[in-house]
Amino acid sequence: GMVAISHDGTRLAHGYTHWSHPPRSSPPSGGVEIWNTETGRLELHIKDIDRVDYLEFSPTNDVLVVCSAEWKTKLYDAATGVLTYSMNSGSRAAFSPDGTLLATVSSQLSSNKTQRRVDLVDRASMKTVRSMISSEGKANSWLLSLAFSQDGHQLAASDWNGSVTVWDVTTGDVVRDIGPL
């Protein structure tokens, strides 16, 4: 499963996936458990959601983003477990340091299969404010990770083919292409 620790260190989210037996007899399902790190007690259990491939607390610890390879990104109220928003996007996401933006791997495929799109979503309106295209790889692209710089001015995406693309968040311009090494 996946794990995430809240920014204040008081909560741990554990995402899990249940696979069908025999395989492929039904789609995988999952859930999230949120534990209090000080008491070791289970505080919240979000059940019957899609396969959990990634999760992260918002910088303010009030939202938990959960992503699946089924091209779904869901935002949950971290205190109640209530689903507050769902969108079609990829299996990774990242909050900007100030929590105002959410970067997601787009579900929209490029005509060039060696590139992927990252969407920047404004958290207040949940509207896409900018889309950025990854560097062209040597093979079909699958973005594995997204990360903002500490000042929130740059966003990096790593690809399974070994390349990394870094963008300027304000302009959407590519700042640097790295790799594959």
How far from 86 is each of 15, 59, 139, CA to CA, in Å? 17, 19, 30
Average pLDDT per consecutive 10 residues, the chain (181 residues; last block may be shorter): 93 86 66 96 87 92 89 92 90 93 79 75 95 73 83 91 89 87 55
How confident is the model at residue 24, as a pLDDT?
64
Q: Which two tokens mark 15? A: 């995402």
Contact 83, 74 (CB under 8 A): yes
What pTM was computed for the model?
0.86
How confident is the model at residue 70, as a pLDDT?
74
Which letter does DSSP use for residue 123 in this model? T
Name the maximum alpha-carbon separation found in the chain. 50
